[in-house]
Amino acid sequence: MKNCFTLIIGVLIGSFSFAQTTSLGGPFGWKDKFVPSKNPDVHVMAGFDMQQIAIEDSINDIEKNSPWRFGYKYETNFNLENSGEWITTGNGNRIWQIELICGDAITVNVIFENLNIPEGAYIYLYDKEKTNRVGAYTSRNNNAEHMLGTELVHGSHIVVEYFEPAAVAGQGSLTIANVIHGYRSLDTVQKNLMKAFESSEDCNIDVNCPLGAGWEDQIRSVAMIVVGGSGICTGALINNTCDDGTPYFLTANHCVDGQNLATWAFRFNWESPPGTEVCATVAVSTDPGSPYDQTANGATELFASAASDVALIEINNMTLTDAQNWGCFYAGWDNSDALTVTQATGIHHPSGDLKKICREDNPPTHQSWGGAACWRIANWDQGVTEPGSSGSPLFDQNHRIIGQLYGGTAACSGTNDNSQPDYYGRFGVSWPNLDTWLAPGTCGSAPTTNDGWDPVAPPSNDDAGITSVQSPTGNYCTDTFDPEVTLHNYGANNLTSATINYNIDGGTNNTFNWTGTLAPGASATVTLASMTATAGAHTFNVYTTNPNSTADTNPANDDAASSFNTTIGGELITLTLNIDFWGYETAWQSLDAGNNVVFEGGNLSVIPGGIQNADSGDPGAYADEQPL
C-alpha cells in the first residue's frame, strides 16, 4: 500500500500577464523574512494498491486509445475554512498554507474546485525543499466552472500557498478536490534516480535530433496535455484562415471523452534544448529544466466525434501574447483526405516524456479501426509512438496536419513490423464539422490546405488583401452584376485606404479607391461599381494596391478570383418525363419567380395535391409508360 500524508502550510497568489505568472518574485514562503507556521495541519490520506494499478495500466497501455495514466487521484475536501492555517502579515495581507506529503510519489499535483482568485491574489505550488515550483495562478485562471488543474511539482512533499491582499480579504475561495500521487514519471527528474528522461522506450527520437530538421515550426505547435490531473495526451495548436492566433487545439476524441476540460493543463516546449539530446542509438535526453511557465490551463470543447476520433477545443486562457512569448506555431492542415500522401511524420509526447518525432517513409492508407475512419501507418521507419502520444498530429510531406493519433500497437519491439501499425483519425473526414472555426466565412472561402501561421514573425505594417469574392460567382441570367468582395487588413497598422483593382478575364482594369478604418486582422465587405459581361464563361479577378497610400509589404495575399457564367436572353430548357404504370395520374407545372404558371402538362385535374379518382380518360392524361 502507498500512503499519502497531508500537512497544511501556506499559499500565496498574485496577478500576471501569462497563463501562469512568472514576474511575482516567487512564492511568499520562499522569502527570507517569512516565518512559517510551527503547527501545520496534518492529514493522512488513504493508500492505494500499486499492484492493482500496475495491472490496469498494463492493459490500458496496449493500444494507446486512452490517456496514459501517471497518477493515482485521491478525492479530498481541503478548503480555506476547514483546513490549513492562516498567517496575517503586519500590513493586513493574509497567507493560507497547506502541505501535501505523498510518501514516495515522483510528482504531486492538485485539482481545485470552487476556485475564485481575486485581483491581486495568487497561488503557488512548490516542493518542501524549495527546488521547483509551478504558478503563479491568478485571477486570469478564473473560469465559469471555477476549476483548475495544476502543473506537476517534482517530489513527494509539496506546498500550496494562497496569498490574499488586505484589500480583497475574504473574497477568495478554493477547494483542493483532488490530490494526484504521481507514481509514473513524465520525465523522471528526481535527484536519486540513476538515469533521467527514460520514461519512453529507447527507439524514440528527440525532436532536436537530425530527424527533426526542417520541422522546427511544426514542433513548436505540439503540446503535452495533463488530462484530468492524472493522465497524459498530446495535441497541437492549429491555425485558422484568419491568422488571428485563436488558440484552437486539435487532439483525439478519446482524450476528451468523459473529461472536464476545465481541469486540463497544456505544457508547451517540453523538449530537450538543442545540443543536449542524444541522437545515436538511444535518444535519452538531459534535463531541459522546468518549462512550467509555458503552461496554459483549461479548455472548451468545440467539436468531438468518435467517427474520426477527433476533438477540436479552444484553450481558455492562452492569449496571442502567450503564444508569441513561448515561441509557438499554429500548424497548417490539409482537408482533402486524398491518397496523395507520400510520407508521414508524427510529433508527440510518448509516456509524457520530452517531445519526440517519428517518420514513415511509405504512403499511409485509409482504413477503419475501432469504428473510426483512419490513416493506417503500417510501420514506423524511424521512431515510434506510445501511450501518451494519443491525439498527437500526423503531418504529410508538405508539413500539414492530416490526422491525430487514435491508437495502435506500434512499439519499439515492432519497428518495421507491419503487424504492429498505428491509426490516426482522418482530418479530411472531420473537416465538415471543423470549418466553422478553422475557416470562418469572414476570412474568405474555405481552402483545401493551410500552411500554418507563425505569430512570432513580425507582421507587415501596411498590408491589405482580398480574402474572397461574393459576387460574381456561379450562373447569371443577365449580363450585368455588382461585384462584391471582402477586403482584409493583414498589416500591423490600421488600414484607412486602399486601391481595389478588378477586371473580367484580364481585360480592362477598373479601380475603386476604398477608404475607412479597419483594425489589424479585421475585414469588410466592399461593393464595387457594376460591370457588364458577354455571354459565356468568365473569370473575375481582383487585387489590392497602395494600402495606406504606400507600397504593399506583402503582395502575396493581395489577389482573389472567381468563376462565373452569364446567359443572355434566356436559355432553352428541355424537360423529360418518364411515365410509370399510371401515366394518367401524372401532371406537372413550371412556375416563375412570382409563382405564376408558365408551362404545364398532363392530367391537370390532379393538381394541386393529387386526387384518388384520376382516370385515363381525363383531359391531358398521359398513357402508361409513355416516354415524353
Task: Please provide the DSSP assignment of 84-151 as one string.
Answer: SEEEE-TTS-EEEEEEEEETT-SEEEEEEEEEE--TT-EEEEEETTSS-EEEEE-GGG--TT--EE--
Average pLDDT over residues 350-373: 93
Note the pLDDT of residue 313: 97
Choosing among 3.30.1370.100, 3.40.190.10, 2.40.10.10, 3.40.710.10, the CATH entry for 206-453 is: 2.40.10.10
CA angle 567/570/576 to nearest 5° reads 110
Neighbouring CB atoms inside 10 A of 209's CB total 21
* Of the listed ranges 186-195, 488-497, 550-559, the one predicted with least confidence: 186-195
Catalytic residue among 206, 309, 337, 618: 309
Q: pLDDT band at residue 15, thresholds of 50, 70 and 90?
A: very low
Question: Residue 152 pLDDT > 80, yes or no?
Answer: yes
DSSP class of 477: S
Average pLDDT over residues 294-311: 95
Q: pLDDT band at residue 18, thresholds of 50, 70 and 90?
A: very low
Q: pLDDT band at residue 173, thresholds of 50, 70 and 90?
A: very high
**Residue type for 180, please?**
I
Average pLDDT over residues 87-92: 84
Question: Residue 166 pLDDT > 70, yes or no?
Answer: yes
The mean predicted confidence, pLDDT, of the chain is 83
What are the Cα distances from residue 615, in Å, to 8, 585, 586, 589, 621?
Answer: 92, 8, 11, 19, 8
Contacts of 146 (CB under 8 A, 6+ apart): 113, 114, 115, 116
Q: Three-state DSSP class for 450?
A: strand
* Of the listed ranges 291-300, 301-310, 355-364, 432-441, the one predicted with least confidence: 291-300
Average pLDDT over residues 214-243: 92
Convert the pLDDT of each residue in 401-412 to its tens digit. 999 999 888 877
Question: Residue 189 pLDDT > 90, yes or no?
Answer: no
Cβ atoms of 43 and 83 within 8 Å: the answer is: yes
* Of the listed ranges 80-84, 190-194, 301-305, the one predicted with least confidence: 190-194
Q: pLDDT band at residue 278, thresholds of 50, 70 and 90?
A: low
Q: pLDDT band at residue 373, thresholds of 50, 70 and 90?
A: very high
Tell me the three cell numbers of residue 596. Answer: 405564376
Compute the distance between CA of residue 267 and CA of residue 226 in angstroms, rounded to an integer.
Answer: 8
Note the pLDDT of residue 426: 98
Q: pLDDT band at residue 70, thresholds of 50, 70 and 90?
A: confident
Convert the pLDDT of each residue in 516-554 to its tens digit. 999 988 889 999 999 998 988 999 999 999 999 988 877
Report the DSSP beta bridge partners of residue 5: 44, 101
Average pLDDT over residues 488-496: 89
Note the pLDDT of residue 104: 86
Compute the distance between CA of residue 542 and CA of residue 364 in angstroms, rounded to an integer.
Answer: 39
**β-strands 480-481, 248-251 pairing:** unpaired
Q: Is 254 a catalytic residue?
A: yes
Kindly report the length of the chain.
628
Architecture of domain 458-566: Sandwich (2.60)
Question: Residue 3 pLDDT > 50, yes or no?
Answer: no
Question: Residue 427 pLDDT > 90, yes or no?
Answer: yes
Compute the distance between CA of residue 94 and CA of residue 88 in angstroms, rounded to an integer.
Answer: 4
Catalytic residue among 185, 390, 392, 523: 390
Note the pLDDT of residue 6: 39
Question: Residue 606 pLDDT > 90, yes or no?
Answer: no
Show me where the domains of the chain are located.
Answer: 2-182, 206-453, 458-566, 573-628
Contacts of 250 (CB under 8 A, 6+ apart): 235, 236, 238, 310, 311, 312, 331, 391, 393, 401, 404, 427
DSSP class of 263: G
pTM for this entry: 0.68
Question: Residue 36 pLDDT > 80, yes or no?
Answer: no
Cβ atoms of 209 and 280 within 8 Å: the answer is: no
Compute the distance between CA of residue 143 and CA of residue 316 in angstroms, rounded to an integer.
Answer: 8
Note the pLDDT of residue 5: 42
* Of the listed ranges 52-56, 144-148, 415-419, 431-435, the one predicted with least confidence: 415-419
Q: pLDDT band at residue 277, thresholds of 50, 70 and 90?
A: low
Note the pLDDT of residue 14: 31
Compute the distance between CA of residue 337 and CA of residue 343 in angstroms, rounded to an integer.
Answer: 14
Q: Which helix (H) or strand (E) holds 320?
A: helix 320-325
47-81: buried (b, 16+ CB within 10 Å) or exposed (e) per residue?
ebeeeebeeebeebbebbbbbbbbbbbbebebbbe
Tell me the three cell numbers of residue 470. Answer: 461574393
Catalytic residue among 43, 157, 181, 254: 254
Compute the distance between CA of residue 497 and CA of residue 502 in angstroms, rounded to an integer.
Answer: 16
284-304: buried (b, 16+ CB within 10 Å) or exposed (e) per residue?
bbeebebebbbbbbbbeebeb
Q: Single out the residue of 305, 333, 272, 9 nearest to residue 157, CA to CA.
A: 9
Q: What percent of the chain has pLDDT over 90?
A: 43
Note the pLDDT of residue 580: 75
